[in-house]
Each structure stands twice: as structure tokens, then as C-alpha cells.
Amino acid sequence: MRVLARLSAVLFLGILTAPLRGQQLETIDHIYDPKVETVLLFPQVSANQLDRNAASPSLTLNPPVISLDEQVPLQLEFDDLTANYRSFRARLVHCNADWQRSILNDIEFTYEYNDSPITEYQNSINTKIPYYHYWFTLPRVKLPGNYLLVVYDERNRNNIIFTRRFSTYQNRVTVAAEARFSSDPSRQFSDQQIDLNINYRGYQVISPQDDFKVVIRQNYRDDRVLRGLRPTNVQAFDQTLEYRLIDLSNTMPGGNEFRFFDTRTVLSRANYIDRIDRLADRNVVYVQVDRSRNQGPYIQSDDFNGQFVIDHRETGNGATGADYIETVFTLKTPEIQGWDVYVNGAFNFWQLNDRNRMTFDALLGAYRASILLKQGVYNYDYIGKTTGSPPKVDEHFMEGSYSSTENDYEVFVYHRPPASRADQLIAYRKIGLNKRK
């Protein structure tokens, strides 16, 4: 058995280092199999299947960040649109604060053998596009920190299906954080600033001003992150670090409230749906025509901060009752030379690729994109990216940026304890700015 386990570990090491479709596997959120859609990872409420179906769909809005002290597991759900049963397996990879793979062995961060079959599944019910819906409860881990979930094909270990990041934490130091408008007068109407203190009383640390790694993330997005923050004041007697940065390194654009649409039903047009074509093999939904919002005043509206919720109005069971819909986006604006335009959101892991790239239709005088999405309520926005080298990405090119925008922020504090071989997440704090509920 030991020989087999060692051989399995060696094989999986080869997966992580071997080329994958011309590239090495990266420790990011990414779907490699084009037939797999709607990969959700969120804190689980109940392990009971009936309770899971009856639970609020909004539970998936919670980020995959859990406390090791609360015994709340993470739930994975995804769909396979091949309409054939496939055997999948899952493994965990431990990562440092920079999301590079650590040198820890499996036994150092897992309680059991690190290779689990994904056996729970259901067929879709009365959908034009058939699929298998899978779910899996992630095993517990020993250490607080960053992890990568890797799901692969059981019949071909080199065939990685998708990867998802998640984090576990133990609050060993205390974080006090506040989000507010930028202190720079020239940016006070467009940017937001996060000030914080770290109290490490009772926690062993050799060099407090150097040893803590602080990461600030906006709206659970790994493309909206502040790193490398240095404390502005060290109060040795009170064992407190202050981060009141005058160089604006703790400031980021506030952005705008996200656009949204509702496809929970195709029997009638819901919010921001212009037209529904009910074809024999699929449904096609046209989202209402959008226009640029980079000019004019800020307009308050409620949103999910770029996230989405899967739901089905008629059955209340989005997991297997929701259908996949060809969703058509239209952005009415003149063609922009030297730029590519994307429709973006958490549904695409905030990545800019062929799936969400828009093309300009000269007859319509607008950009268009057609994306297959499961029924639900979606947030999205439009992003511009220059075609030059290196490319420049500008989310505010079409949307504008306002300090009055409602946003969620997370503060992660990492530390590598003495004699430890990897970074640990020793504090996690979530705060909101301009909250209205």
C-alpha cells in the first residue's frame, strides 16, 4: 500500500509540472475542459442532499474562505455538459501567500489520503441542454492557508478538468480595518482606501514589521488585490502595527455598481431581458442593450458585487432544474480602435478570453457576445483591453469609477511561524463600504 501511495503521489506531481495543452498548470481558478460549466465552491450549510436543494441559492455568494475552528466544510458543485457520466477525482495542493505551491508534503496538511473520488451526482431534469450535476464536500485540512483544489479525469490523470482556489484561516492576531474614501483630494471621488491595524499581542513573531504579509482583496476578485503593504508605525509596547499609508498603496478604484439580468425563467421576460427565443434545441436570451457609463453621475443600485446566483423559478431547484441558455450581450458604442472589449464577471472567473470577448457588428453599430450560461441572476460589466504589447486592461474604460460604490473588502494576514515550512493564514477580516442593508 505504501508503494502504491508513493507512486500515486509521484504521478500527481507529474500532473502539476507537466505541460497542459501547451502550458503548465497554474494555481488559479480555471476550467480546462470546455464541457464543464458553472463551477461553484462555497461554505456548506448542510450535508443532507434534501436540505441542500432546499437551501437558499444565495449561499453560493459566500467566498470559499472558512475558519478551521468552526468546522464548516466547503461544498463543490459543477456541471458536465457531455451528458454522459464521467468519473472525477479531486486533490488538494497547498500554496504560500503568493499562491505558489509550497514544499509541504500531503501528510503535513491533510488528515486522510489526498485523492478523493467525486461520486455524488444527478441528471438534469427537463432541460433542453442535458447535463450531469456533481457535488463534493471537500475534506478537512490541518493548516490555515491557501489551497488549490484540482479536479481531474479518473481515467486519465493527466487530464485536468478545472482548478479552484480556497483559503482556511485561524485568527491568531487581531485585525481592525476600515474602508473609506481616498485621502488624496484628486482621487476622493473615484477611489477607496483601506486603513488597518494588526494587534499581535500573545503571538510569537520575530520581526513584526517584516514577517507579516498583508493582502487586501476587493469583491472576492483575485484580479483586484493589494500586496506588499508595509506598516507605517510599529507600537512595540502595545504590540500593534498601523497601516496608514500616505503613498496610496492601500487605495484602489471604487469601480461602479454592476449591471445585472435575471434568467430564472424563460416563460416570460424578467429584469433586463429584451427578448427570448425558444428554439427546439435551446433557449436564446437577449439582454437589454447596454451603453457606456464612464460619463455622468454615480447611480445607486443593488448588486452582488460581480457574483451570480443559480436558480430556477418554476422548480426552485437550480442545481438540476435550471437549463443552459445562450445569453446574448449587446454594448451600443462606436468601434474602439486598438481595444478589445469583454463582458466580464465571476461567471468567467474574471478572466478575459475567447469565451467572453465581444465582436463589433457594423450593422448594429454595437459590440456583441454570446455566452452559454445556466439560469439564474447574474452580475456583469464591460472591460476594455488594448491590443498592443504589453496589453493594458481598463475596467473603468466603459464603467467609470466612483468612491460611492458599494464594495466588499477582505483582509488576509499571512505569517510563516518559526520552524514552519510554509505560510499560514493567521487572520481574516471582511469589511464593507457604503453598505445599504
Q: What is the domain partition of the chain in residue ranges?
A: 2-169, 174-254+404-433, 259-399
Cβ pair 303, 272 in contact under 8 A: no
- Domain 174-254+404-433: CATH architecture, name and number where available: Sandwich (2.60)
What three-state secondary structure class fits 316? coil
Whether residue 224 is predicted with pLDDT greater than 50 in this model: the reply is yes
Whether residue 12 is predicted with pLDDT greater than 60 in this model: the reply is no
Whether residue 1 is predicted with pLDDT greater than 60 in this model: the reply is no
Q: What is the pLDDT of residue 58?
A: 86
Taking all residues of the chain, what is their mean pLDDT, rounded to a whole number?
92
Round to whole Å and give the CA distance between 141 and 148.
12
Q: What is the pLDDT of residue 287?
A: 98
Whether residue 51 is predicted with pLDDT greater than 60 in this model: the reply is no
Whether residue 97 is predicted with pLDDT greater than 60 in this model: the reply is yes
| Class of domain 259-399 as given by CATH | mainly beta
Cβ pair 320, 124 in contact under 8 A: yes
Whether residue 21 is predicted with pLDDT greater than 90 in this model: the reply is no
Whether residue 239 is predicted with pLDDT greater than 70 in this model: the reply is yes
Q: What is the CA radius of gyration of the chain?
A: 23
Whether residue 132 is predicted with pLDDT greater than 90 in this model: the reply is yes
| Pairing assessment for the beta strands 290-291 and 324-332 based on DSSP bridges | parallel
Averaged pLDDT for residues 322-331: 98
Whether residue 15 is predicted with pLDDT greater than 60 in this model: the reply is no
Q: What is the pLDDT of residue 54?
A: 54
Whether residue 50 is predicted with pLDDT greater than 60 in this model: the reply is no
| Percent of the chain scoring above 90 in pLDDT | 87
CA angle (160, 161, 165) in 5-degree steps: 90
User: What are the grid coordinates assigned to 336, written together?
Assistant: 474602439
Q: What is the pLDDT of residue 53?
A: 54
| Class of domain 2-169 as given by CATH | mainly beta
Q: What is the pLDDT of residue 267?
A: 94
pLDDT band at residue 410 using 50, 70 and 90 as cut-offs: very high
Round to whole Å and give the CA distance between 17 and 23.
10
Closest by CA position to 107, among listed 17, 29, 28, 2: 2
| Pairing assessment for the beta strands 191-199 and 174-181 based on DSSP bridges | antiparallel
Q: What is the pLDDT of residue 389?
A: 86
Residue 12 phi, psi (nearest 5): -70, -30
Q: What is the pLDDT of residue 46?
A: 52
2-169 and 259-399 have identical folds = no
Q: pTM of the predicted model, to two decimals?
A: 0.92
Whether residue 391 is predicted with pLDDT greater than 70 in this model: the reply is yes
pLDDT band at residue 74 using 50, 70 and 90 as cut-offs: very high
Strand residues in 219-352 grouped as ranges (E)? 225-226, 233-235, 240-243, 251-253, 259-262, 273-278, 283-287, 290-291, 308-310, 324-332, 339-344
178 vs 55: which has the higher pLDDT? 178
Q: What is the pLDDT of residue 24?
A: 64
| Percent of the chain scoring above 70 in pLDDT | 92
Q: What is the pLDDT of residue 403?
A: 96
Residue 320 phi, psi (nearest 5): -125, -10
Whether residue 386 is predicted with pLDDT greater than 60 in this model: the reply is yes
Cβ pair 64, 136 in contact under 8 A: no
